[in-house]
Amino acid sequence: MAQWWKENADRVAEAIDTAERISGHQILVRVGPLGRHPARVADKFAIRYPQASLVFCVDPKRRVFEVRWSSSLQLDSNQATASVQEHLRAHDLPRAITALAALLPHQEEGEELPDIIEETD
């Protein structure tokens, strides 16, 4: 994985833990190649983990990000996109996680997922 990910992994894990504790929602970060069709990869990954309210897909080598949220959240798409856009442009994934999680309605915690899943292919 790229040096950028190695330098930020701990901050990302901390941001996830904090956001999950505050919101009660499951947040999942998938780290690995997104290929030529990052949106498709992110869609498939989000479908694989429907219990996650937020899914961030990160390709650290290309510094590409894709974000998906559960359709049950009824988030305003423009507001959600605006909340993360600046942070992702700055490659500040922890702040993007925190900003988007702040828009989530509070809920009781559910099934625990891993915070970060690293995939190499």
Distance CA 103, CA 30 (A): 21
pLDDT, tens digit (0-9, with 9 covering 90-100), for 50-60: 999 999 999 98
What is the predicted pLDDT for the residue at 111?
A: 63
| Element housing 118 (H / E) | strand 116-118
Selected residue with higher pLDDT from 106 and 18 = 18
Q: HSE-up of 19 (CA within 13 Å, CB side)?
A: 29
Q: Between β-strands 54-59 and 27-31, what pairing exists: parallel, antiparallel or unpaired?
A: parallel
| pLDDT value at residue 112 | 67
CA atoms of 48 and 55, how far apart (whole Å): 11
pTM equals 0.85
- pLDDT tens-place string over residues 84-117: 999 999 989 999 999 999 998 887 665 666 667 7
Q: Give the pLDDT confidence score for residue 73 in this predicted structure.
A: 86
pLDDT at residue 18 tops 90: yes
For the chain, list the domains and their CATH numbers: 3-118 (3.10.310.50)
pLDDT at 41 over 70: yes
> What HEC string does 18-66 produce?
HHHHHHCCCEEEEECCCCCCHHHHHHHHHHHCCCCCEEEEEECCCCEEE
Backbone dihedral angles phi then psi of residue 102, each to the nearest 5 degrees = -65, -20
Residue 117: its pLDDT value, please?
Answer: 76
